[in-house]
Amino acid sequence: MKKETMPPGNDYLIRCPRLGHQIYFSYCRSENMGLPCFKTLDCWFQHFPVEDYLREELKPQEWEMVFSKPPKPKLLSLLELAEKAKKET
């Protein structure tokens, strides 16, 4: 059986390992300031050919920026979020 090439619609939810609740592909596709979450390939590969889809949708430099650099350590991400929250209050 061939997998659907297009991403699932907003009636299809999966559990996000980062957020801990159900989300749509459309959220994953743009949660990173308009770019996909770095875990999008890991989370969606079983549901549709996400890599093929995103390679067609993203510019090569966007792909590199999202998927080719190592993710930040969790502690660093948390500290950055805390600093951002301080500045916004």
Percent of the chain with pLDDT over 90: 64
Give the count of domains, the chain: 1
Helices (H), the chain: 25-30, 40-44, 50-57, 60-63, 74-88
Q: Is residue 5 part of a domain?
A: no
Q: Is residue 8 part of a domain?
A: no
Q: Is-contact 22 13, C-beta < 8 A?
A: yes
Residues 21-54: tens digit of each pLDDT:
999 999 999 998 999 999 999 999 999 999 999 9
Nearest-angstrom CA–CA distance, 57 and 21: 26
Q: Is the pLDDT of residue 2 over 60?
A: no
pLDDT band at 75 (very low <50, low <70, confident <90, very high): confident
Q: Is residue 6 part of a domain?
A: no
Q: Is residue 68 part of a domain?
A: yes
